[in-house]
Amino acid sequence: MSLILTESATNKLQSLISEEGNPNLKLRIFVSGGGCSGFQYGFTFDENQDEADLMVESGQVRVLVDPVSINYLKGAEVDYVEDLSGAQFVIRNPNAASSCGCGKSFTPGAGGGCASA
- Please report the pLDDT score of residue 24 as a whole number: 93
Q: Is residue 115 included in any domain, yes or no?
A: no
- Please report the pLDDT score of residue 65 as a whole number: 95
- Supply the CATH number for residue 92's domain: 2.60.300.12
- Please report the pLDDT score of residue 111 as a whole number: 42
- Please report the pLDDT score of residue 97 as a whole number: 61
Q: Is residue 78 included in any domain, yes or no?
A: yes
- Please report the pLDDT score of residue 37 as a whole number: 59
Please tell me the total count of domains within the chain.
1
Q: Which domain covers residue 88, as residue numbers?
A: 4-108
Q: Measured between alpha carbons, how far is residue 104 from residues 14, 86, 97 in Å? A: 22, 14, 14
Cα(39)–Cα(42) distance, rounded to whole angstroms? 10
For the entire predicted model, the pTM comes to 0.79
Give the residue ranges of the chain where pLDDT is below 70.
Answer: 1, 35-37, 97-117
Q: Is residue 9 included in any domain, yes or no?
A: yes
Q: Is residue 42 included in any domain, yes or no?
A: yes
Q: Is residue 66 included in any domain, yes or no?
A: yes
Q: Which tens digits make up the pLDDT trace of 21-31?
A: 999 999 999 98
Q: Is residue 113 included in any domain, yes or no?
A: no
Q: Which tens digits make up the pLDDT trace of 66-87?
A: 999 998 888 899 999 998 888 8
